[in-house]
Structure 1
Amino acid sequence: MLFLNRFVFKDFISRLNIVGVILSSFGVLYLVLNGKITELSQLSKINTGDIWAMASAISWAFYCSFLRIKNKLISGNSFVMISAVIAAIILVPIAGYEVISKSSTVLTFLPTLGNIMGILFLVIFSSWLSYLFWSKGIAAIGATRGEIFTHLVPLSAAIFSILFLNQQMHSYHYISAIFIVLGIILCSRKN
Structure 2
Amino acid sequence: MLSIKPYLYLVFFALITGTTFHVAKEALASFSPSLAGALRFIFATLFLFLFVLLTDRKLLKVDKRNLIVFVSLGIIGVFGFNFFFFMGMKKASPMNAAIVIAASPAIAIFLSYFLLNTKIKFQHYLGTLISFLGVVLVISDGSMVALTNAFHGEGILPILIAATCWSFYSVGMKKYIPGVSTIQTTAFTALFGTIALLVLTLINGDWSVGFKDIPNSAWLSILYMAGLSTFLGYLCWNYGIQAVGPDKAVIFGNLIPVIAMLTSWVLGEAPNVFDLGGAFLVILGIFIVNAKLQWAKLNRKVEVSK
In which range does the TM-score fall when normalised by the shorter chain?
A: 0.7 to 0.9
State the 1:99 CA deviation.
4.8
CA contact (8 A) 1:30 1:37 kept: no
Alignment check: 8 A CA contact 1:33 1:42 kept: no
Counterpart position of 2:279: 177
Q: Confirm or deny that 1:77 pairs with 2:179.
A: no
- Structure-2 separation of matches of 1:127 and 1:2: 24
Q: In structure 2, what is the Cα distance between the partners aligned to 1:47 and 1:123?
A: 29
In structure 1, what is the equivalent of residue 249 of structure 2?
Answer: 146
What is the CA–CA distance in structure 2 between the aligned matches of 1:4 and 1:85, rounded to whole Å?
25
- Partner in structure 2 of residue 32 of structure 1: 139
Alpha-carbon distance in structure 1 between the residues aligned to 2:145 and 2:273: 16
2: CA distance, partners of 1:120 / 1:28: 28
TM-aligned CA deviation for residue 26 of structure 1: 1.0
Q: 1:10 to 1:71 in 2, by over 3 A?
A: closer
* CA distance in structure 2 between the partners assigned to 1:51 and 1:170 by the alignment: 30
CA distance in 1, matches of 2:216, 2:146: 44
Q: CA RMSD in A?
A: 2.5
Corresponding letter in the other structure for 1:36: S
Number of residues of Structure 1 aligned to a counterpart in Structure 2:
184
Q: Contact between 1:28 and 1:180, CA under 8 Å: does it hold in 2?
A: yes
Tell me which structure has the larger Cα radius of gyration.
Answer: 2
Q: Does 1:133 align with 2:236?
A: yes
User: Structure 1 residues 37, 88: closer, same or farther in 2, change over 3 A?
Assistant: same
Kindly provide the CA deviation profile for residues 91-141 of structure 1, in whole angstroms up to 9, marking residues without a partner as x.
2233344455xxxx9564656654443332211111111111111111111
Change (3 A) 1:160 1:96: farther
Higher alpha-carbon deviation: 134-143 or 117-126: 117-126
Residue 176 of structure 1 and its aligned partner are, at CA, apart by 0.8
Per mean C-alpha deviation after superposition, the further-off stretch among 133-142 and 112-121 is 112-121
Query: Alignment partner for residue 22 of structure 1, among 126, 129, 143?
Result: 129
Normalised TM-score (structure 1): 0.82
* TM-score (normalizing by structure 2): 0.54
The equivalences for 1:92-131 within 5 A come to 92-99=198-205, 108=211, 110=213, 114-131=217-234
C-alpha spacing 1:107/1:151, structure 2 compared with 1 (3 Å): farther
Equivalent AA in structure 1 for residue 132 of structure 2: S
What is the match of residue 186 of structure 1? 288
Corresponding position of 1:158: 261
Fraction of identical pairs, as percent: 22
Query: Which amino acid is 2:224 matched to?
Result: F
Deviations 1:54-101 (A, max 9, x none): 3322111111111112153x432222121112211222233344455x
Higher helix share: 2
Q: Check the 8 A contact 2:134/2:282 in 1, yes or no.
A: yes
| Cα distance change, pair 109–60 in 1 and its aligned pair in 2 (3 A) | farther
Q: Distance in 2 between matches of 1:107 and 1:19?
A: 51
Residue in structure 1 matched with residue 165 of structure 2 by the alignment: 59
Residue 53 of structure 1: how far off its partner (Å):
3.7
Indicate the SS of the match to 1:145.
helix
Give me the whole-angstrom Cα distance separating, in 2, the residues matched to 1:107 and 1:46: 34
> Does structure 1 retain, via aligned residues, the 8 Å contact 2:182–2:235?
yes
Alpha-carbon distance in 1 for matches of 2:239, 2:251? 15
Where does structure 2 lack aligned partners over 5 or more consecutive residues? 1-107, 294-306
- Structure 1 alignment gaps of length 5 or more: none
Q: 2:117 maps to what in 1? A: 10
